[in-house]
Structures are given as structure tokens and as C-alpha cells.
Amino acid sequence: MSELGISAPTLARDRVSVAQLPGGDPAFVASLRQAAAAAYREEPWPSSTRDEDWRRTPQVDKLDPATYSEPATSARETPEYLSEVVRGPLAELDAGAILVDDQTGNLEGGDTPVARTLAVGLSQDAETWRGLLGTVATPGLRTFVALNTARFTGGACVRARRGEQVPAPVRLVHGVDQGSAAFPRTVVLVEEGASLTLVEEWVSPDGEADLLVPVVEVVVERGAHLTHVIYQRCGDQTVVQSTVRVRLAQDARYDLSWALLGGAWQKTYFDVDMLGYGSESKAKGLCIGGHQQHYDVQTLQDHIAGGAVSDLLYRVAVADRARSIFAGLIRVEEGAQKTNAYVQNRNLLLSPTAKADSNPTLEILANDVRCTHGTTAGRVDDDQLFYCQSRGISEQAARRLVVEGFFADVIDFFPEGPLREDARQGVLESLEEMVPSGSLTVGPGSG
């Protein structure tokens, strides 16, 4: 039992209880929580033998949220590991709001017109958030969404009002520590014609067995634009179960850059619903894993309206006994003509025992569309190494350059400035830890 909280019988599936926001829940939130708790109790636990989504992630069979402690509900000093994150490279971002969430419901940095704590946002602007919270990611969607909905206390409401061009990024840092389970909830509304940049960081310290279950719900209205950046930099014993769901209206635009650079094992869902004609989603992500890390990423590009464009690229490098699983589905609903959609997964295997499974698929119910998918898996290209070495570059430096270059198009998609440099530095540091010099296997390239 951690000194931060108490043992967590309230997370046991047969008797899970609902949490409350500081100051109490608005009525619509309390009702939503009760429905979520019922869904969590009634739905079968995910199974690697029964559920296709979990077939390659047997770790879920032994995961029990009740073994984690619960965060305290009273304020405490910001933990040092969170302070270090805030003082890190992104301190140069000049963010308009920096909200540090330690799951007590208190956000360091205070409320702003654009970003507020859940407690403040849901109580003071209930009419706005009533139609969003729990409707984009419904409690019955998945087990961990139900658990998050029943138990969230920390997180933020982020809103760009109609026509507002928010000049500075909003930065949210969600943390978990001391052997606890945390359930941050972010709800985002970018109203008609508005634009916003949102940076989210999911973090935890090394050496602590924590559980982090973030859920992000996003609505981008007609002609609006959201630039969204997600960094997952959790400690070596943290389990992460994350869900990001996005809805795009007519002519809305959504750009997502994401990096998975830590944790023990992780299951991530990313879903985007193309609800409006002319909407556009571009998502580029990267993952670096070593030791026995396990990353399971499942994406959905759901084209409900015609004339929309979605493009997703996910690049992975795994070493040692690490494993990556990717399942990417493009679904084109009946009548969604003139759809243009692409999903691509590229994997670089840095040791003989590393493994990558990839399954991009198409489900098309319209006949005037352009939908493609691609996947590759390979080792460091010996021809590329030879090319570098023939120009006087040492073997060690050549190996590093090849692997860094593998991620270049994803890194370059991060917004220019501190965000891009932080992504690049994260890749370099992860490679230094996961891929010691001379440890890379070579062979045919992965493309």
C-alpha cells in the first residue's frame, strides 16, 4: 500500500465505486459515472484468448486494477518527477497554459479561458460539456473507458471558442506515481472556425508499478483546426491503457503527432470519425521499445461522410525482446464516396529477438474511393551502412544515423520549434538506452 493513497477495493470489478470531482460532481457527471460503473461490472474482462483486440497482448489476462493504490484526493506538493518534466525542454514552448495534473484534481498553473480543470469546467460550463463528455468515448465502448469514466478526478476541459485563434499552445502534463492507478480525462472542443495547439504528456517515474488510464475526447467543429501532440514517457514498470477518440465536422482539420517512448506495456486506441464532407485527419506517430517492452496500438479511420481525407503513419523500432503490435482499420461507410484514406506501418527490428506484428485492413462499403494500406518489417539496411562508411563515417555513427533517419518524416511532422526538437531528443535518448552501439543487426532494409 502506497503512502499516497489506500489499497483499492473500489477498483475491484465486482464492487467498483464511483469517484467524485473536488467539490462534487454535477448531476450529469454523477449519472454518467453510475452508468460507467455498471458497464465496468457487467462487461467481461478483456481476454487474449477470447477477444481479437487483445489476442497478441496476454498481459491483460493478469492485469488487476484493484492491486494498485488510489491517489489521494487532497492537494499535495507537485512531485519532483513532475516538476522535472515541467522544467524540461518544453519549458521553452511558451505555452499559454501549463496544467500539471497529479490526479488530486488540482492543476498547477490555474484555470484559463481556454483550459480549466475538470471540476471547474464541468461545473461552470455544464451545458457545453454535457454534450461531449462520455459521448465521444462512451462508457460502453471499452472496459478501460468505463473504468476511467467511473474513476476520473484529474484532467482538463479545453475549449477554443468560435473563430478564436488561440496563439499559444495549451500544455497538459498527466502523471501517476507511488504504485497508484490514475485516470486522467481530457475533453477538447474546437468550435467553428477556431484553431488550437494542444500538447499532452503522460509521465511516471521509473521503478514504480503504476497504472495510467488516460481517455481523450475531441470534437473539432466546421472549419476548425486542432494540432494535437501526445508524448508518452512513462517509467519502466508503468502499464498504460489509453484511448483517444476524435470527431471531425465539415472541413475540420486534425493533425496528430505522437511518440511512445516508455512504459512496461501499453494498449493504445486511436479512433477518428470523419463526420463531415471535406474533413481531414493526418496522424504520424513513432515508438521505440527495448528490453521486454510491449506496445499494442489499434487505430480506426472511420469515414462516415464522403469527400474526407485521412492519412496515418506509424513507425516503430524494437530491440532486445520488445514487441510491437499494430492493427489499423480504414472503414468507409456506405455512401461515403470520394473518400481518400491511407494507413501505413513501418517496423525496424534492431535485434534477432525483437518482434513486430502488423495488420492494416480495409473495410469499404462505397465504390468511388481511394484507400490504400502498407506495412514493412526489416532490419538496418547494410547498403545504407556501407554508403555512410564509404564517406568516412564510423560504423557506430552510421548505425545511429540510419536509425535516426528512419524516424525523420514523423519527427518533421511535429510542430516546428521546441516540440519537434523534444521529439528528436526523445528518439536519440531512447536509442541510446535501447540500442547500444554495435548491437544492431543488419540485413535488408525496412523502407
As a whole number, mean pLDDT of residues 194-220 equals: 96
As a whole number, mean pLDDT of residues 96-121 equals: 71
pLDDT higher than threshold 60 for residue 270:
yes
* Per-residue b or e along 211-240, where b marks 16 or more CB atoms closer than 10 Å to that residue's CB: bbbbbbbbbbbbbbbbbbbbbbbbbbbbbb
pLDDT higher than threshold 70 for residue 263:
yes
Tell me which of 430 and 108 has the higher pLDDT. Answer: 430
DSSP string, 122-174: HHHTHHHHHTTTTTSS-TTT-HHHHHHHHH---EEEEEE-TT-B--S-EEEEE
Q: What is the pLDDT of residue 447?
A: 57
Q: What is the pLDDT of residue 3?
A: 38
pLDDT confidence tier of residue 80, bands split at 50, 70 and 90: confident
pLDDT confidence tier of residue 389, bands split at 50, 70 and 90: confident
Percent of the chain with pLDDT over 70: 90
Q: Rounded to whole angstroms, how far apart are CA atoms 89 and 234?
A: 16
As a whole number, mean pLDDT of residues 161-185 equals: 93
pLDDT higher than threshold 70 for residue 162:
yes
Cell 492543476 belongs to residue: 107
**Each residue's pLDDT tens digit, 216-239:** 999 999 999 999 999 999 999 999
pLDDT higher than threshold 90 for residue 380:
no
Show the cell assigned to 445: 532494409
**Each residue's pLDDT tens digit, 28-52:** 999 999 999 999 999 999 999 999 9
Element containing residue 178 per DSSP (H, E): none
Decide: helix, strand or coil at residue 269.
strand
Asked whether the beta carbons of 202 and 173 are under 8 A apart, the reply is: no
Percent of the chain with pLDDT over 90: 72
Q: Rounded to whole angstroms, how far apart are CA atoms 226 and 89?
A: 22
Q: What is the pLDDT of residue 85?
A: 87
Q: What is the pLDDT of residue 99?
A: 76
pLDDT confidence tier of residue 74, bands split at 50, 70 and 90: low
Q: What is the pLDDT of residue 70?
A: 76
Q: What is the pLDDT of residue 76?
A: 59
As a whole number, mean pLDDT of residues 230-257 equals: 98
pLDDT confidence tier of residue 103, bands split at 50, 70 and 90: low
Q: What is the pLDDT of residue 109?
A: 57
**Each residue's pLDDT tens digit, 362-379:** 999 999 999 999 999 988
As a whole number, mean pLDDT of residues 172-177 equals: 91
CB atoms within 10 A of CB 408: 12
pLDDT confidence tier of residue 390, bands split at 50, 70 and 90: confident
For the chain, give every domain's residue range: 9-275
As a whole number, mean pLDDT of residues 406-424 equals: 96
Q: What is the pLDDT of residue 211?
A: 96
pLDDT confidence tier of residue 404, bands split at 50, 70 and 90: confident
Q: What is the pLDDT of residue 444?
A: 54
Mean pLDDT of the chain: 90
pLDDT higher than threshold 50 for residue 154:
yes
Q: What is the pLDDT of residue 4?
A: 39
Q: What is the pLDDT of residue 382?
A: 78
Q: Rounded to whole angstroms, how far apart are CA atoms 186 and 152?
A: 10
C-alpha neighbours within 13 Å on the C-beta side of residue 92: 9
As a whole number, mean pLDDT of residues 422-427 equals: 93
Q: Rounded to whole angstroms, how far apart are CA atoms 119 and 417?
A: 32
Q: What is the pTM assigned to this prediction?
A: 0.93
Q: What is the pLDDT of residue 5?
A: 40
Q: Rounded to whole angstroms, how far apart are CA atoms 141 and 134?
A: 10
As a whole number, mean pLDDT of residues 329-342 equals: 98
Q: What is the pLDDT of residue 422?
A: 94
As a whole number, mean pLDDT of residues 54-65 equals: 96
Gap between the terminal Cα atoms of the chain: 48
pLDDT higher than threshold 90 for residue 113:
no
Q: What is the pLDDT of residue 178?
A: 87
Alpha carbon separation from 115 to 19, 120, 172, 229, 246 (Å, rounded):
22, 10, 9, 16, 18
